[in-house]
Amino acid sequence: MIDAEWWDYDTPEELAEAVAGDIGFIIEQALEARGRAIVAFPGGETPKAALELLAARKLEWADVTIVPTDDRLVPPTDPRSNVGMLAKLFLPKKARVVPLAAGETDPQAAGRAADERLAALEWPLDVAWLGVGADGHVASIFPGPDYDGALNGPKIRRAMGVRPDPLPENMPVNRVTLTKAALVSARVVTLVLTGKAKRKLVEKAIKDGAASQHPIGRLLADLDMDIDIHWCE
């Protein structure tokens, strides 16, 4: 079982400041060590405040490549697009933002195209910043016909189209996601979550390990490192 260090915060603002500081430090270390950094960031509302604070930091963003941990098969102009949000924040800073979805509507075609784009990057990720859904999904690794492939596919495969079954009611669209193999190979994995229910879910997922019924538990069980978990109620 991994050793997870929980960092608790009183407010979402404190959480955002701490996460932005930690991720910024990891990027600085990567730039100093290798002259470049490649990172995977989540989309959605929960990480937005931390992403905005991170984008405001004075870093050599031109040497940073950003990949969404996952995305929906929608145009980048759609408010639901993760790469659209990341591009708005980081392209003005001269960072490189690599999309997972690039106009495809078929999830399998989107996954193949994303995997080809990612193969041209220098791996592994310096940091994979992850969230977790109320149902225990991580990135867009959902139960469904593509679940086993995203969890247990070849390690060389870094992205995969997914068809959640059932489709999430709040955003009923297919997705493309980084695979478990791509995420757990990162030099640093950081988990950020809010709410008592998610904390309870993650604590149980860590305890259950590889036998967990939740994607987050299956992913964490495959890590060979300890992780920081940032949380506020």
Q: Which residue did the predictor score with more confidence, 147 or 92?
A: 92
CA distance 208 to 200: 12
One DSSP character per residue, 154-223 reads: -TT--EEEE--SSPPSSS---EEEE-HHHHHTSS-EEEEEESHHHHHHHHHHHHHGGG-SSHHHHHHHT-
Kindly list the strands in the beta sheet with 175-178, ordered across the sheet, starting from the edge strand earlier in the chain. Answer: 70-72, 175-178, 159-162
Tens of pLDDT, residue by residue over 72-130, are: 999 999 999 999 999 999 999 999 999 999 888 899 999 999 999 999 999 999 999 99
Per-residue model confidence (pLDDT) at position 172:
78
Residue 57 clears pLDDT 80, i.e. is over it: yes
- What's the Cα-to-Cα distance from 93 to each of 40, 56, 127, 136, rounded to whole Å? 17, 9, 19, 33
> Which of residues 193 and 144 earns the better pLDDT score?
193
Q: How far apart are CA 75 and CA 2, in angstroms?
A: 38
pLDDT at 144: 87
Of the chain, the percentage scoring pLDDT greater than 90 comes to 88
Give the lowest-confidence range in 39-43, 100-104, 122-126, 211-215: 100-104
Cβ atoms of residues 194 and 155 within 8 Å? no
Cβ within 8 Å of residue 79, ≥6 positions away: none
Q: Supply the pTM of this predicted model.
A: 0.95
Mean pLDDT confidence for 179-203? 97
Residue 140 DSSP code: T
pLDDT band at 166 (very low <50, low <70, confident <90, very high): confident
Contact 184, 208 (CB under 8 A): no
Domain ranges of the chain: 4-231
Q: Are strands 37-41 and 159-162 parallel, antiparallel or unpaired?
A: unpaired
Give me the sign of the Cα torsion angle 80, 86, 91, 95: negative
Q: How high is the mean pLDDT of the chain?
A: 94
The CATH number of the structural domain formed by 4-231 is 3.40.50.1360
Strand partners, 231: 8, 193
